[in-house]
Structure 1
Amino acid sequence: MLRFTAFSYLTLFVVFTSFVGCSRNPVTGKRQLILMSKEQEIALGKESHPSIVATMGLYDDTKLTNFINEKGKAMARLSHRPDLPYQFYIVDSPVVNAFAVPGGYVYFTRGIMAHFNNEAEFAGVLGHEIGHITAQHSGRQQTTQLISTVALIGGAIAAPGVVGQNLESLQQGLGVLLLKYSREHESESDKLGVEYSSKIGYDANQMANFFGTMKRITDNSGQSIPEFMSTHPDPGNRLTKVRELAKDYQTKNPAKYQIDRDNYLRLIEGILYGEDPRQGFVENNMFYHPELRFQFPVPNGWQHQNSPAQFQMGAKDGKSAMILMLAKGNSLDEAAQTMVNELKLSVQESNWTTINGNPALVIISRQQQQQQQGQPQQAPDPKNTLQIGTHLIQYNNAIYALHGLATVADFNNQFSTFQRVASGFRSLTDSDKLNRKPERVHIKSAPRNGTFTEVMTALGMPTSRIEELGVLNSLKKNDQVAQGTLVKVIGR
């Protein structure tokens, strides 16, 4: 069998890069090595898009979709790479997030659209995401990673297994697509966000203000915040920096920059807020799915996140997690075989059972260890090896996989929790849960002068949700609100 040494890989790399050569970055103007061509970027975007849609779903709002495409394409025309086939989408997720995929694909969650308070805030984040594309951050990151890999090669390269050592190991949709850029790239995109949003006429100071909203979301417990924030500069620091960038740009380019608050608020009237109960929701430590008509318990104190493709939950100590998803197959046997093959699992044991009248198969498995060529087989470390307790449950013409994850060292202590959750999987018959309506953002005029708290109270909002509503409106409880000012409230 042909084997490559580190020198061989390095030689191939040097030969390859001599053909590829360096290109000039359209944003920085500097020559740099990019191993992803424009055609490859576009192909990656096209390939990624169906997975994103399948995982998150698209939010059906024609007015909002037309709005982001109109602004996005206007901004793209003025960007450093106007020749890309840009496309803009709103995905059906309550998480406050926006992300871009190479080739011109930009996505906003309905959660972030609900939290913008004017067009200028939206435009700033839009410019930031387009900036990731125009500055070729994905290609630059890929190249940096490849160079680092070549430099560190000491033998054959082993590809990572499908099943990793934490919750992300079973996320097969967006894990590779939502690229975590470096702080340098984020700061560069912030600067481009100021430039691009200003060029289409918006006040980039509002982009800075939105980082204040993000900081409040980060600081408040119980809010759903994307993991990508952990790789970004601190929102408070970004607020200060972006404000400086906006001031500098407007000093050099004096003009009348727009905010357009009322127009934007009217545009988002009725937008879905929080979890869509049709896709499942948690209440009193129980997960309910009205459309699929089932329920199961959520362990006390566990954190959770729901999406159209799967439901994830995990203990705060990080020692255990569970994921519910649809299994592939028309029978329990077929689903089990497909799961084992696709996730490259080593089955330890399997047992047939019945869960509340539903046929089920319980499989205990471990991730298969990747062995490097020429290296002796090493015993797996129980502290780093993932063990999975899967309950495959046949219910209403579908098969559900409820995966419990823990390290081998912790698995026995956690398995009783996995069993309790699985044994609570049952038919949902409660009409209140089956007919639950989603919450939506509604736009109201302040009925009086007063503090934000007084205005919200006058509009019938509960005291317990004042801070949540404050984040949504980018206002603090003692901020003064004038009569007639448009504000957001939450209702069904």
Structure 2
Amino acid sequence: MYTRAYFRLLILVITPLLVLACARNPVTGKREINLMSTEQEIVIGKESHPSVVATMGLYEDKNLQAFMNQKGKAMASISHRPDLPYQFYIVDSPIVNAFAVPGGYVYFTRGILAHFNNEAEFSGVLGHEIGHITAKHAARSQKSQLLSTIALIGGAVLAPQAVGQNIETLQQGLGLLSLKYSRDHESESDKLGVEYSSKIGYDARQMGDFFGTLKRISDRSGQAIPQFMSTHPDPGNRFTRVHELAKDYQTKNPASYQVNRDQYLRLIDGIMYGEDPKQGFVENNYFYHPELRFQFPVPAGWQSQNSPSQFQMAAKDGKAAMILMLAKGNSLDEAAQNLVKELSLNVLENGKTTINGNPAYVLISRQQQQQGQQQDPKSALQIGTWLIQYNNAIYALHGLATNADFTANFSTFKQVAENFRSLSDPDKLNRKAERIVVKATPRDGSFRDVVTQLGMPANRVEEAGILNGLKADDRITRGTLIKIISR
């Protein structure tokens, strides 16, 4: 009786709150639970922006930024939420990506801008990202994420590769439903990308072609995963669906839709391509940082990702990862104390040492379980940390794996850390960034023959083909503008 009475009381309390939280979605027109107001979305965007900039950095290109602002404002004005304070940024990352934050913040990497081949491709992806904002996808995701595991998210942020197997286990049931929910968001944003880019005059079929480029990037990297386990629909499937959506829209709304290929290529002529050597680069299984003048090995077969704030690398099987970042503190002891406190570590071993003449501090630790949290000891995260004092800074090099896999990977972590050393090779210190150079083809011929004549080595023809949205045997005519990679 008491339980039933309590349940009825709970319903009486919650129901009015849910009714108050319901609002009509500007895109779907449906009433739905909304736990994030417009004001809250704007606050989230403002609070998130400094972190995005600190993590990735901004890419300075006045003409490209002006173009992005112009198209972004034009598209925002015809969107379902024209009154948001939209802001558009180019972030300094070679990764092919674009993303949006609630409140109107839209980010394109220089990597994705280098891979677009016309204004219509750019516009379609811009519409897709604005669609995430106008459809309130962050707020709609928040509703389902209330039931998700905060601890899991925290672990994934710290070492997404190392806890990958745990994620697969915990994402059964509700987790897979959340993945599907995210794919629905992506598909809805694809539709909005077609609508918004078409409304400002672009041929949305080109957006579908860009998903063909993403498919080739995915296939070449060897990182493709089954669609049912991905938060994004398969690029190949999106290619087909977006073409169908664009064809349907243009049939219902006949007009002269623009592509503007040459205009866009001239706009990105000179854009940086790939990693910025000043921020560090990987070559022959070593990570080199010319500005900070250090180097250390990258285990064979490991994948890596660099940013202004940290360098990450991980084994392909997801069982081990390493992260390099600056440590907080004026001494090794202070840095160690800050680290233990901030990450809530349970230190198992610690001691001072020297690494290639540099004072160092080693800690072996585990993340402490949160109160009330139960976890299989074998799947708990274990961390080996080497704090290295070098050139008036203290670097933290973390090796991460589950308890079950830590011992097997410890020798790899140790080998990397103990080979942290100064960099003096002039070739590495003076390395220049690669850039996109737009050239007119000197003659008719296959793409392979033309780019080879323009200086691209044979082992990079496929890379150049992906960059241009062309295949090696595609025929191109004299005078056609194409992108070449050059220093």
Asked whether the two chains share a fold, i.e. TM above 0.5, the reply is: yes
Between the aligned partners of 1:23 and 1:183, the Cα distance in structure 2 is 23
3-state SS of paired residue (1:88): strand
Query: In the alignment, which residue of structure 1 is the partner of 2:459?
Result: 464
- Asked whether the 8 Å contact 1:361–1:392 carries over to 2, the reply is yes
Query: In the alignment, which residue of structure 2 is the partner of 1:452?
Result: 447
1:8-38 CA-partner distances (Å, limit 9, x unpaired): 87775435324x2421111111111111000
Gaps of 5+ in 1: 1-5, 150-156, 172-178
State how many pairs are aligned: 466
One-letter amino acid of the counterpart of residue 369, structure 1: Q
Query: In the alignment, which residue of structure 2 is the partner of 1:381?
Result: 376
Gaps of 5+ in 2: 1-5, 164-177
Query: In the alignment, which residue of structure 2 is the partner of 1:153?
Result: none
> What displacement does 1:331 show?
1.0
Query: In the alignment, which residue of structure 1 is the partner of 2:18?
Result: 17
One-letter amino acid of the counterpart of residue 37, structure 1: S
3-state SS of paired residue (2:160): helix
Aligned 1:434-449 pairs, distance under 5 A: 434-449=429-444
Change (3 A) 1:230 1:161: closer
Between the aligned partners of 2:390 and 2:102, the Cα distance in structure 1 is 39
> What displacement does 1:230 show?
3.2
1:73-118 CA-partner distances (Å, limit 9, x unpaired): 0000000000000000000000000000000000000000000000
3-state SS of paired residue (2:71): helix
3-state SS of paired residue (2:369): coil
One-letter amino acid of the counterpart of residue 404, structure 2: A
Between the aligned partners of 1:221 and 1:126, the Cα distance in structure 2 is 24
Query: In the alignment, which residue of structure 2 is the partner of 1:182?
Result: 182
1:206 aligns with 2:201: no
> What displacement does 1:277 show?
0.7
Query: In the alignment, which residue of structure 2 is the partner of 1:473?
Result: 468
- Asked whether the 8 Å contact 1:96–1:224 carries over to 2, the reply is no
- Asked whether the 8 Å contact 1:161–1:370 carries over to 2, the reply is no
The root-mean-square deviation of aligned C-alpha atoms, in Å, is 2.5
1:195 aligns with 2:195: yes
1:401 aligns with 2:396: yes
- Percent identity (aligned): 71
3-state SS of paired residue (1:182): helix
- Asked whether the 8 Å contact 2:161–2:318 carries over to 1, the reply is no
Aligned 1:107-126 pairs, distance under 5 A: 107-126=107-126
Change (3 A) 1:332 1:118: same
> What displacement does 1:168 show?
2.8
Change (3 A) 1:114 1:222: farther
Between the aligned partners of 1:445 and 1:224, the Cα distance in structure 2 is 34
Query: In the alignment, which residue of structure 2 is the partner of 1:318?
Result: 318
- Asked whether the 8 Å contact 2:281–2:287 carries over to 1, the reply is yes
- Asked whether the 8 Å contact 2:384–2:413 carries over to 1, the reply is yes
One-letter amino acid of the counterpart of residue 387, structure 2: L
- Asked whether the 8 Å contact 1:217–1:223 carries over to 2, the reply is no
- Asked whether the 8 Å contact 1:165–1:384 carries over to 2, the reply is no
- Asked whether the 8 Å contact 2:118–2:260 carries over to 1, the reply is yes
- Asked whether the 8 Å contact 2:216–2:466 carries over to 1, the reply is yes
Query: In the alignment, which residue of structure 2 is the partner of 1:168?
Result: 160
TM-score (structure 1 length as normaliser): 0.90
Query: In the alignment, which residue of structure 2 is the partner of 1:32?
Result: 32
1:372-424 CA-partner distances (Å, limit 9, x unpaired): 28xxxx6x633211110000001111110000011112212211111111110
1:327-374 CA-partner distances (Å, limit 9, x unpaired): 11111111111111111111111110011111100001101112328x
> What displacement does 1:224 show?
11
Query: In the alignment, which residue of structure 2 is the partner of 1:332?
Result: 332
Query: In the alignment, which residue of structure 2 is the partner of 1:369?
Result: 369
One-letter amino acid of the counterpart of residue 17, structure 1: L
Query: In the alignment, which residue of structure 1 is the partner of 2:422?
Result: 427
One-letter amino acid of the counterpart of residue 75, structure 1: M
- Asked whether the 8 Å contact 1:183–1:231 carries over to 2, the reply is yes
- Asked whether the 8 Å contact 1:163–1:344 carries over to 2, the reply is no
Change (3 A) 1:42 1:161: closer
Query: In the alignment, which residue of structure 1 is the partner of 2:220?
Result: 220
> What displacement does 1:207 show?
0.4
3-state SS of paired residue (2:196): helix
Between the aligned partners of 2:380 and 2:217, the Cα distance in structure 1 is 34
One-letter amino acid of the counterpart of residue 129, structure 1: E
> What displacement does 1:288 show?
0.3
Match of 2:410 among 397, 415, 438: 415
Query: In the alignment, which residue of structure 2 is the partner of 1:483?
Result: 478
Between the aligned partners of 2:11 and 2:351, the Cα distance in structure 1 is 49
1:45-83 CA-partner distances (Å, limit 9, x unpaired): 000000000000000111111110110000000000000
Between the aligned partners of 1:15 and 1:208, the Cα distance in structure 2 is 44
Query: In the alignment, which residue of structure 2 is the partner of 1:300?
Result: 300
3-state SS of paired residue (2:377): coil
- Asked whether the 8 Å contact 1:205–1:246 carries over to 2, the reply is yes
- Asked whether the 8 Å contact 1:326–1:399 carries over to 2, the reply is yes
Change (3 A) 1:237 1:169: closer
3-state SS of paired residue (1:197): helix
Change (3 A) 1:212 1:160: closer
Higher helix share: 2
Deviates more, 1:463-472 or 1:335-344: 335-344
